[in-house]
Amino acid sequence: MSTTQAGGGATVRRLLLGTQLRKLREARGVSREEAGYSIRASESKISRMELGRVGFKERDVADLLTLYGVESEHERATVLGLVQDANASSWWHEYGDVLPTWFQNYVGLEEAVAEIFGYEVQFVHGLLQTPDYARAVIAAGGHVTEPAEIERRVEVRLKRQALLTAERAPRLLAVLDEAALRRPWGGRELMRNQIDRLLELSDLPNVRFRVLPLGSAGLSAEAGAFTLLGFAEPELGDVVYLEQFTTALYLDKPAEVAEYRQAMEGLLADSLDPEPTRDLLRSVRQEL
């Protein structure tokens, strides 16, 4: 099993364990505040546990099971058996010095999903970037100036890209605003190489890439770039990821997720089909 798969597996187990604990708590009629008190923690800690965004202590999980009235040894053993797998270290932990916690959460989710829907306005999607393009974008951000840190961030981006050719690769559907193709990050040659990379990746069976042309109003994405993550496990709901300058939002309420799914459908309707997208990529490349 590859490192990528192992990391994704740990994330799925955290999500499944958190979901199971939430269902047990709700079935028992216990509030998050009461649950937190029982394990000497806060209500917000229970919330993070149920969302699979923190590690789990076996003692805490055992105490919660007792609070929730789970007495069957078999059922307790099944739930507690998830704890060790859920706490397994993932490859990105070694990059903790350059990756904020809120983005580590995203990387874990990204590796656990069955499908990724992304809309980008300013940049090529991170999973589709060349090393030079990634380096130019990271450096242009201004808040990372040390060459060593820039290189470590590029390494992370390249390791994430291994996901697209893994044994259980997710389906990626990326919509890119044409303006991003015409923004000369790092110069003309760099952008030509980036477009070549997009043409190459568009041949992968699990990758669908479309361009939203400049002539389109693009009203379906008036709120800006977003990523929608879908899981194969029926117990896990979809998540919308919205990245901001110093943090990120994770939306998982069904009504909110449905709005972004509708927005993605609108973007697909407004964007070019795969072959016209490839024609536009070649045209932009010739103009560079």
- pLDDT digit string, tens, across residues 50-71: 988 888 999 999 999 999 999 9
- Find residue 171's DSSP bridge partners: 115
Q: Which CATH number fits domain 95-287: 3.30.870, 1.25.40, 1.10.3470, 3.30.70?
A: 3.30.870
| SS3 assignment, position 114 | coil
pLDDT of residue 254: 92
The residue among 271, 173, 184, 279 whose CA lies nearest residue 221 is 271
Q: List, by residue range, all CATH 3.30.870 domains of the chain.
A: 95-287
- Residue 187 phi, psi dihedral angles, 5° rounding: 110, 170
H or E segment and range at residue 177 = strand 171-177
pLDDT of residue 6: 35
Distance CA 4, CA 112 (A): 9
Distance CA 85, CA 94 (A): 18
Distance CA 59, CA 93 (A): 24
Q: How far apart are the first and last CA of the chain?
A: 42
Contact 193, 134 (CB under 8 A): no
Fold classified for 3-86: 434 Repressor (Amino-terminal Domain) (1.10.260)
Contact 100, 114 (CB under 8 A): no
Contact 68, 25 (CB under 8 A): yes
pTM for the structure as a whole: 0.83
H or E segment and range at residue 287 = helix 274-287
Residue 103: count other Cβ atoms within 10 Å of its Cβ: 17
pLDDT of residue 4: 34
User: Can you give the length of the chain in residues?
Assistant: 288
Tracing tokens 């961030």 back to the chain, one arrives at 153
Per-residue pLDDT of the chain (288 residues; tens, 9 = 90+): 233 333 456 888 888 899 999 999 999 999 999 999 999 999 999 999 998 888 899 999 999 999 999 999 999 998 998 898 888 888 888 999 999 888 988 998 998 899 999 999 999 999 999 999 999 999 987 777 789 999 999 999 999 999 999 988 999 999 999 999 998 888 999 999 999 999 999 999 999 999 999 877 666 667 689 999 999 888 888 999 999 888 899 998 899 999 999 999 999 999 999 999 999 999 999 998
Q: List, by residue range, all CATH 1.10.260.40 domains of the chain.
A: 3-86
